[in-house]
Amino acid sequence: MSNDKYKKYIDPTFPLLEKYREIAPGSYKHSQNVANICESIAIELELDVDLMRCCGLYHDIGKMNYPLNFSENQPAKTNIHDDIEPNVSYHLITRHVSDGVLILLQNDFPIEVIKIISEHHGDTLLRQFHKKEEESPEDLFRYKGRKPTSMESIVLMIVDSVEATSRAMIIQRKDDEENGVFIKRIIQSTIERLDDDDQLDKILHGAIKQIKRILTKELESIYHKRVIYKDEEDKDIVDEIKNKK
């Protein structure tokens, strides 16, 4: 199922998409991967394919405002978050959601796209920065968004988190575990983490198996070779998954 109303936004020559690719190439590459996986899941779950592709492509568009806040756009071995306070890092990272909403509103995107993207982090915890200030309440390090209210928002949240976590994990791999087994473990741990945090309450649990199967297939294709590509937001999950071996 698809809808022509989203066609112009997912065209690679759409001006905002070209600008995104130029200004924040690392984030754009991640968004491409997310869009491709979202499209495959949409076909399986009979969701609107073009809507899901559109949401995947633009979910991190807010990073375009300050691309160097995010390590995937930073020069190698350079990370501004090494030298600033965790609460400042928290604000620099989380603002990409509201920045993205504003950019999409200014470019007359359909309201359903904006709503889905606004929910793609829900009110999840930025664990990496909270760990540096564990005495502080968790609420001070949570995204300020609404938890996903639709299947589309949940799919986007899961795919975004799993794809980013896979990159972070694969960079650090030093073992010879089979890629498929490794990726399945990442998918399972990431979905469990989101579910335990009550982010996935609106999902039909029968869809979880389908989502896991497609994620495994798509990620095995993307990461058949180890790649060097990192993301500041998801380093906090790496140790947690390693400990579940």
pLDDT of 229 higher than 50: no
**Predicted TM-score of the model (pTM):** 0.87
> Phi/psi class of residue 75: alpha, beta or left (left: φ > 0; alpha: ψ in -120 to 50)?
beta
Mean of the pLDDT values across residues 51-61?
Answer: 98
pLDDT in tens, 145-197: 999 999 999 999 999 999 988 877 776 665 666 777 888 889 999 999 999 99
Q: Where are the domains of the chain?
A: 4-242
Please give the Cα distance from 94 to 99 (Å, whole number): 9
Closest alpha carbon to 5 in 50, 38, 58, 52: 50
How high is the pLDDT of residue 206? 75
Confidence of residue 224 (pLDDT cuts 50, 70, 90): low
Confidence of residue 228 (pLDDT cuts 50, 70, 90): very low
Fold adopted by 4-242: Hypothetical protein af1432 (1.10.3210)
pLDDT in tens, 91-103: 999 999 999 999 9
Structure tokens at 145: 């968004």
